[in-house]
Amino acid sequence: MEHPTNQPRPVTVVTGGSRGIGAATCVRLARDGHDLLLGYVADADAAERTAAAVRAAGARCVTVRADTSVEADVERLFDTAAAALGPVTGLVNNAGVTGPLGKLADARTEDLRRVVEVNLLGYLLCCRRAARDMAGPGRSGGAIVNLSSAAATLGAPGDYVHYAATKAATDALTIGLSKELGPAGIRVNAVAPGIIDTDMHAAMGDPDRPAKAAAAIPLGRPGEPSEVAAAIAWLLSPDASYTTGTVLRVSGGR
């Protein structure tokens, strides 16, 4: 839903906005009337490409390199958003990693640590700062969307049970924080995608994974990033004004 034109434009922080679901979300939110702080960790070229698409859609966009697992980086991300764009009204907690595919018995400790630090500690640091900003004096609330995964309930045996565990934690974070922040007018929801066609599968060692998984998906195909972005945009929009504490599955029926 497009943002009403007689109100200030929402200012939304999207972590991992350079590529994949985050990039599609930035472009979709720009079309819906948001100004954007686009966070990324390494791929500056991808961040600038997405930022150009956001600006072409008529939105303001600032890119910031920030590792969401590092407290000082998260603080700088939100400080920059407020200074450059105005008070932050939305957060899409999207930056995530899986590490290599495989059984837990074969996983390296450094990969487990990285997945927990980015997917869980990073989400907590971003949610904490968003809660402080959105519930501060003179503020009238906001909305947070956390990227979970269908893996949170499927468990992802043989692939990445550690990643699935961080996504189940995301669901618990979403439910608990929605209850903490509801009285301040802040809605907190999650989107749980199934297998979506992004770079993430190549990064975990199997670029053909989305195509190979199609037969096990009731809708018969992997999802597109834009199909997840649509759900995120709805949860941030006034159309979702009475929706909080929910995990919206976008998985083709899986």
* Ranges of H-type helices in the chain: 20-31, 44-56, 71-85, 109-116, 122-134, 151-154, 161-181, 200-203, 209-213, 225-236
Q: Which residues pair with 189 in a beta bridge?
A: 145
Residue 78 found at the interface with ligand NAP (CB under 6 A) = no
**Contact between 90 and ligand NAP per CB under 6 A:** no
Which listed residue (11, 14, 15, 89) binds ligand NAP by CB under 6 A? 15
Q: Which stretch binds ligand NAP (CB under 6 A): 29-37, 127-135, 152-160, 195-203?
A: 195-203
Distance of CA 127 to the CA centre of its chain: 11
Our CA angle for 10, 118, 144, nearest 5°, is 25
For ligand NAP, the binding residue among 20, 33, 90, 142 (CB under 6 A) is 20
Structure tokens at 181: 């922040």
User: Could you tell me which stretch among 1-9, 132-140, 190-198, 234-242 binds ligand NAP (CB under 6 A)?
Assistant: 190-198
Backbone angles phi, psi at 46, to 5 degrees: -65, -40
Nearer to ligand NAP, 43 or 71 (CB): 43
Minimum distance from residue 33 beta carbon to ligand NAP (Å): 22
Residue 119: which of 163, 160, 53, 54 has the closest Cα? 163
Number of residues that bind ligand NAP (CB under 6 A): 30
Which active-site residues does the annotation give? 163
Residues that bind ligand NAP (CB under 6 A): 15-16, 18-22, 39-43, 46, 67-69, 94-97, 118, 147, 149, 193, 195-196, 198-200, 203
